Structure 1
Amino acid sequence: MTGSENGLNVGRRSLLTGAAGLLGAAALPTTAARAEAGSLGRYPSNWPDPEPYGLADTRPDLWPREDNSFVLPLEPRPRDKELGRVWMRDTYVNCFTVGGRPLYVATGTTRVPGLEGAGPWNDGIFVWVARSLRGPWRLADTTGIRPGAEKGKVWSPEFAAENRPGRVVVAPWQEYWQDDRFGKRGQAWAPEVHYFRGKWYIVACMGDHSRKVGSFMLVSEGGVEGPYRLVEGNHDKPFGDPFIGGPNFIEPGAYHHIDGSLYSEGHDAWLVLHNHVYAKFRDDMEDIIPATGLPKFQQTPYSPEPYLEGAYVFKHGGKYYLLHAAWDRTSANPDGSTRYAYDPAGPGRVQYQYDAVVAVSDRFEGPYSERWTLGVGAGHNNIFTDHTGGLWATFFRNPNFGHWSDPSRIADSAVAGVVRLEWTGPQRHRLYVQRRNNGHTAPPPIR
């Protein structure tokens, strides 16, 4: 979650009807109003939101499609040959300027040979790099750090033997362990790579099958390839406080805030966590302030609020965007039609798409506007700016439930995908997956 200075603002639902906004501005008899209307005309329109608040926007224009997205051609590892591509969840991509040149990085949750998913264990974090978004994408060259080891693997519970006095690579709570129910347990989830103040950081999460479940951060003692060590604040536990959560097989006291992310602005950086909390990093980046009792973002929740994941903050033109992953669940309306909504799980509600929803604010901590659907099936993503200033988001097509779990589609799920975004301008302040009609043509009503 690195910042980008390009432009956004908070908007209210009553002001988001694109045509009405243009007509209202044009009716004002001032030069400033005419200039504003002309400025609005250069940007695509906001779409009116489904009513009531909490319904999902499922229109095809908000899907990643062949005309607005593609799957990154990541260099395969030996384990990827059977599938023919890299299997990935929680895809993360970013672009940094290093040595005066753009450097793209990609990472995500991957699996080991022989397992269908990333649990009950996986073998850590892989990183790919490229000079262009289109590639070629190469595994980070880790051969100088671990000759003979699998290329591109920058951190793993396997690296516990590298611990030395004063240098922790893998904490005891991150190591593999065994039980009678699952056998080998422990996995790294949802990694992000960041370049901040001339150093490389990885924020990631130990997943549900780990001794302790929650977010941690690594810092490189070299380049993007490492070697990485664990920051001091995670030597004994994940970031934040433990609380009740996750599947019933997680031991009491083990569950912490998952899906950690990093937002930086100027000389400062913040940790952003699942369940909508955040904390500023210490100046030395070795821990957060406060270490416990973290503050919460000021949001406009749904009613009732469902389970949300993948909290992420992106700055664009001085405004802040807070993203979440939310399941769009289908159910039946009283008239028999299908209801698509960000409802909590419940009887008669079926998981359909894992969407990206977003809200906007003038301040990092909020208050944030009502959320809207940024992308259908694009949940648990990040937004980044390419080296030309273009805006993109990632997606991965969730294979666990819903649309992409169908046997006819499962082969196209769990991908390292990127989709182009469009911005509706400095007055409308919205981001969407790039739509076919660019928002200028009135879409059909939502039902």
Structure 2
Amino acid sequence: MTSHSLPRRSLLAGAAGLTAAAALPLTAGPARAAAPRHHPANWPAPEPYGLADNRVDLWPREDNSFVLPLELRPRDRERGSVWMRDTYVNCFVVDGRPLYVATGTTRVPGLEAAGPWNDGIFVWLAPSLAGPWRLADTSRIRPDAEKGKVWSPEFVTENRPGRTVVAPWQEYWYDDRFGKRGQVWAPELHYFHGSWYLVACMGDHSRKVGSFLLKSEGGVAGPYRLIEGNLDKPFGDPVAGGPAFIEPGAYHHIDGGLYTGDGKVRLVLHNNLYADFRDDMEDIVPSTGLPLFQQAPYTPEPYLEGAHVFKHEGKYYLVHAAWDRTSAQADGSTRHAYDPPGPGRVQYQYNAIAAVADRFEGPYSQRWTAGVGAGHNNFFTDHRGRLWATFFRNPNFGYWADPSRIAQSAVPGVVRLEWTGPTGSRLYVARRRNASGRP
């Protein structure tokens, strides 16, 4: 089996995008984006540094985005769509044909969120962004299990000497406060070096909280096993953070992602760390004391999540999720800013912010708002070289938590991206155009 891994991250957009995606051919080589005659311009960043850009042009809208029509599981039929956070979509060319993959954080029937436990990682596959999107066929691996579920803490019974599927720190456990505990968050699926890999995170209710890597011993549906470096713990060192109910020393770096460019495979951890993988992909180097990206932080720096790096046209884009918090200014107007929590500050939108550099490590430019409500996403390139990002509409707080909108939250969405060219070097959610074709 041969493959080309397309540049790592991208979003889909719009009803128009859906129609175009449906017409995509089913065979392709490596993606090559045609150079546009004109590039859109950068928008001046709001000042002072740290203010959020909330213009409607940066929202996923009907003209630039759509929700993926993923095959429904029995649990999804009442809602009519898949409940998903941390939506991840990517495209790989395998044996000369594009293969689109989708996954994310999901919940179990009867719970409103993906906690205090959920039941693992599901994967969907399609020949194009428009679909048809089918659950991965896991029937040969687990004939009696739910279709499409490729990993779960409940698979601990599959552990064998020399082959660990679920480590002790990933197993379900119980306490008097929450009952059943343990969930997996923010999975990503990657294909390189002839193998499929899943990187994901055990969430806040787990015995240990942090990121880990699974390797398939078969195809995209698995079966998957845990790599050696995660048999005892997540990646990196324990750190301060997380809710008070997390046991001391259990919290590690969350939201792990993979960068697979430049002949290297790298782990990216929230919100400022990275590491190289060993050649055998069984651990990172160094395993502790991880290096930091060179960033231009806000003052003060808020809590950031969902970090990943995407390379496009020789530039590196470091993307984070950050809350746009609103507050009242002295003149009565509303301030939108990436502020830490504080009196009078209200969570409004979970945004994607980005910065650009000439090197993976940085130094990175000042950040800009790349997408409103598109936080905790990934960027990727489709097999025709078009740029996309994912989104999910955060149901916990803010705009999408409003009772009038909550039914439209937690979705597997994709939105089109635009590049401002070699001079501007920015990626934005595709903005609206005026008659001249310019933003």
TM-score between the two structures when normalised by the length of structure 1: 0.90
- Cα deviation digits, residues 257-291 of structure 1 (max 9, x gap): 00000001143200000121000000000000000
Q: For the structure 1 residues 151 and 440, does the alpha-carbon distance in structure 2 shift closer, same or farther, using more than 3 Å as the test?
A: same
Q: For the structure 1 residues 438 and 288, does the alpha-carbon distance in structure 2 shift closer, same or farther, using more than 3 Å as the test?
A: farther
Q: Is the 8 A contact 1:45 1:439 kept in 2?
A: no
Partner of 2:422: helix, strand, or coil?
A: coil
Q: What amino acid sits opposite 2:426 in the alignment?
A: R
Pick from 276, 282, 285 the counterpart of residue 289 of structure 1: 285
Matched, 1:92 2:106: no
Matched, 1:159 2:155: yes
* Bigger Cα Rg: 1
Q: For the structure 1 residues 250 and 311, does the alpha-carbon distance in structure 2 shift closer, same or farther, using more than 3 Å as the test?
A: same
Q: For the structure 1 residues 5 and 42, does the alpha-carbon distance in structure 2 shift closer, same or farther, using more than 3 Å as the test?
A: farther
Pick from 303, 307, 311 the counterpart of residue 307 of structure 1: 303
Partner of 1:94: helix, strand, or coil?
A: strand
CA–CA distance in 1 between the matches of 2:384 and 2:6? Answer: 15
Alignment of 1:133-282 (within 5 A): 133-282=129-278
Unaligned runs of 5+ in 2: 10-34
Shift, 1:298, TM fit: 0.2
CA–CA distance in 2 between the matches of 1:230 and 1:425? Answer: 41
Partner of 1:427: helix, strand, or coil?
A: helix
Partner of 2:260: helix, strand, or coil?
A: strand
Runs of 4+ deviating beyond 6 Å: 438-443
Q: What amino acid sits opposite 2:7 in the alignment?
A: S
Pick from 120, 136, 141 the counterpart of residue 116 of structure 2: 120
Partner of 2:238: helix, strand, or coil?
A: coil
Q: Is the 8 A contact 2:153 2:166 kept in 1?
A: yes
Unaligned runs of 5+ in 1: 7-38
Matched, 1:421 2:417: yes
The aligned length equals 410
Question: Which residue does the alignment assign to 2:78?
Answer: 82
Question: Which residue does the alignment assign to 1:28?
Answer: none
Question: Which residue does the alignment assign to 1:326?
Answer: 322
CA–CA distance in 1 between the matches of 2:131 and 2:263? Answer: 31
CA–CA distance in 1 between the matches of 2:134 and 2:8? Answer: 29
Question: Which residue does the alignment assign to 1:4?
Answer: 7
CA–CA distance in 1 between the matches of 2:104 and 2:438? Answer: 37
Partner of 2:92: helix, strand, or coil?
A: strand
Question: Which residue does the alignment assign to 1:335?
Answer: 331
Question: Which residue does the alignment assign to 1:62?
Answer: 58
Shift, 1:196, TM fit: 1.1
Q: For the structure 1 residues 280 and 335, does the alpha-carbon distance in structure 2 shift closer, same or farther, using more than 3 Å as the test?
A: same
Q: Is the 8 A contact 2:8 2:310 kept in 1?
A: no
CA–CA distance in 1 between the matches of 2:356 and 2:160? Answer: 44
Partner of 1:83: helix, strand, or coil?
A: coil
Shift, 1:41, TM fit: 6.8
Shift, 1:378, TM fit: 0.1
- Cα deviation digits, residues 62-81 of structure 1 (max 9, x gap): 00000000000000000001
CA–CA distance in 1 between the matches of 2:303 and 2:174? Answer: 29
Give the superposed CA RMSD: 1.6
Q: For the structure 1 residues 351 and 270, does the alpha-carbon distance in structure 2 shift closer, same or farther, using more than 3 Å as the test?
A: same
Q: For the structure 1 residues 440 and 190, does the alpha-carbon distance in structure 2 shift closer, same or farther, using more than 3 Å as the test?
A: farther
Q: Is the 8 A contact 1:422 1:433 kept in 2?
A: yes
Partner of 2:86: helix, strand, or coil?
A: strand
CA–CA distance in 2 between the matches of 1:89 and 1:316? Answer: 25
Q: Is the 8 A contact 2:40 2:438 kept in 1?
A: no
Partner of 1:237: helix, strand, or coil?
A: coil
Partner of 2:407: helix, strand, or coil?
A: helix
Q: What amino acid sits opposite 1:163 in the alignment?
A: N
